[in-house]
Chains A and B, each alone.
Chain A
Amino acid sequence: MNKGLSTTATRRGLLLAAFAGGAVRPAMAQGANTLLNVSYDPTREFYREYNTGFAARWRAQGGEAVRVNTSHGGSGRQARSVIDGLQADVVTLALAYDVDEIAARGLIAADWIKRLPNNSAPYTSTIVFLVKKGNPKAVRDWGDLMKPGTAVITPNPKTSGGARWNYLAAWAWLMRRPGATEAGTEAEMVKLFRNVPVLDTGARGSTTTFAQRGLGDVLLAWENEAHLAMQEFGAGNFEIVHPSLSVLAEPSVAVVDRNVDRRGTRAVAEAYLRGLYEPEGQALAAKHFYRPRDAALLEANAARFPKLDLVAIDDPLFGGWAKAQTTHFNDGGVFDRIARAAR
């Protein structure tokens, strides 16, 4: 009965799709002239602009017309969709961990991170604070977030990649203090999460809660999200605070080997990712407040991207994503303990 259901439903779906005049094409009908980029939440504006430019450049280089579709959402959810069969040609996700999960199911070659320069991360970002104009609570650094009476907005580290970076940045700052212990750091993290009134499921939800609903004194946000929020909600209402130490977030990009080989889109998919490292891609990344890899370009935008002490995920403090994920974020991990104690 099950099989019958699936095939009749498919057939019926196709028939109706045909009736709809091709307006709604099932994913399977997509040919080599479309490319699907499965990405995470805060890259929407950047890739929308990049896609248009890429299509034009690809045409100019003698390629056939290509239309790039995008799908955005929480990084973990997007990775799961690709694992469950979403026909992504390329993934551009928030964390290497999420790409690793896809690779672990054999959809992407295991050595993906070595295939493109800079750990397959064409741009980087970091975590900053967004506060109300004038910084009424005088929030300067991570230590200020643990003071009673300062309401902090961050998404849920369980569901949001950005929130994991928020958490790890705070953790790193605490651990770098002289004489810091893990137990002491955990106790401070409890104080931090006691100050969190809402845990939205994604970075975008948190920005809305802070900027639109007026909740909280500090928003922990991606650097690019913070700039975008200033643009969208009025630069006069907020200001950005750069803490003394933060994390080096390297959003990873990869070609989904199994899908591009089946669909015959490898050439265009690889060109699409390579383009991110080329001057046009780098300039666009900087324009959308991602820190470009191009040193000269980064220097030229030094006012926007002040030099910070940035801790990478491979730092012994975290030991790479796989370890950080199991230690901190999996069920029964450190974050669960903190959330429970902060109640």
Chain B
Amino acid sequence: MSDGTIRPERFQPAWQDRPWIRRLLAVAAVLVALVMLALPLLAVFVEALRRGLPVALDAIAEPDTLAAIRLTLLVALVTVPVNLVGGLAAAWCIAKFDFPGKRVLTTLIDLPFSVSPVIAGLVFVLIFGAQGWLGPWLQARDIQVIFALPGLVLATLFVTFPFVARTVLPLMQEQGRDEEEAAATLGAGGLRTFLMVTLPNVKWGLLAGVLLCNARAMGEFGAVSVVSGHIRGETNTMPLHVEILYNEYQFAGAFAVAALLALLGLVTLVAKTGLERLSGRNGNLA
């Protein structure tokens, strides 16, 4: 069995294309990546630095921006753990068990991907807004859900809902149930089986999923825009603050905050790639 990792070989195996084709493909891939991925990112950084680094740094050090950064981190801090636990449970029960309605559940997990972020915000307005189902009840008790932190968290939870489940599920499905069944035969309970057998098998995929979930949680715009209320320094997350600065013609500042967000995203991605390298070396995916 081939293990899927590829090392330079002295002879050319049959699964490998001729060198000129490989070179052509590599060039094509790099071109696609340049136009589709690198150029937009580059545009962000060029715009951010158009008026020089000090202007960019000043924009980030501004109190309202700092408040936005804190709020964004806080939202991610609440959102990611909830979706981590839920996503793991969902992936486990779909991968390891058969039950009626499984396909519907799988589709349900993908659903937030296809729900427009605008709708994601809208549904919470329909429920918690002053004109919504729970609005009067909440107002009577002076509880603010939308236009405050809880609303931002709920909208973000909805939007980042599928990430963990989606990255872990294929791995769990691939590994089948043999190991878990063996553990159960040896008398291990559900939680123990999960922690000792399943989790180690998917830990790198899981970390990747968590990182993506976190990146999306910090970058979400459409959904939080509907439930935020846009109060400067109070309910503005970083992406919303970018929009505000942009609308105030502070383009350099807007792109500076955007660049910071992109940097956070990049760090995430580099960490994720590193993790995957690590997992490849340890051979944990076998």
Residues of chain A whose beta carbon lies under 8 Å from any beta carbon of chain B:
2-3, 5-7, 9-10, 12-14, 16-17, 20, 23-28, 36, 41, 44-45, 69-73, 81, 83-87, 105, 202, 204-205, 208, 212, 228, 232-233
Contacts and interface: CB of A to CB of B under 8 A. Distances in A.
A207 to B, nearest CB: 8
8 contacts: A23-B70, A26-B149, A28-B142, A71-B231, A84-B129, A84-B147, A85-B144, A105-B130
A84 B135 CA distance: 8
Contacts of B229: 27, 71, 81, 86
Interface in B150-190: 150, 153-154
A86 B248 CA distance: 22
Of all A-B residue pairs in the complex, the 6 with the closest CB atoms, nearest first, are A85-B130, A84-B129, A28-B144, A26-B148, A13-B149, A232-B249
A84 B132 CA distance: 8
Interface of B: 67, 70-71, 74, 77-78, 125, 127-135, 138-139, 142-150, 153-154, 229-235, 244, 246-249, 251
Given A2-B127, A36-B231, A85-B147, 10 more contacts: A9-B154, A26-B148, A27-B234, A28-B148, A69-B233, A84-B125, A84-B146, A85-B128, A85-B130, A86-B229
A16 B74 contact: yes
Contacts of A24: 67, 70-71, 74, 149, 234
B231 A27 contact: yes
A8 to B, nearest CB: 9
Contact of A13 (B138, B150, B248): B150
A70 B129 contact: no
A41 B247 contact: yes
Contacts of A9: 145, 150, 153-154
Nearest to B236: A71
Given A70-B231, A71-B232, A87-B144, A13 B153 contact: yes
Nearest to B66: A23
B67 A10 contact: no
B134 to A, nearest CB: 6
Q: Which of A10, A83, A105 is packed against the most chain B CB atoms within 10 Å?
A: A10
Contact of A6 (B129, B142, B145, B230): B145
A69 B229 CA distance: 11
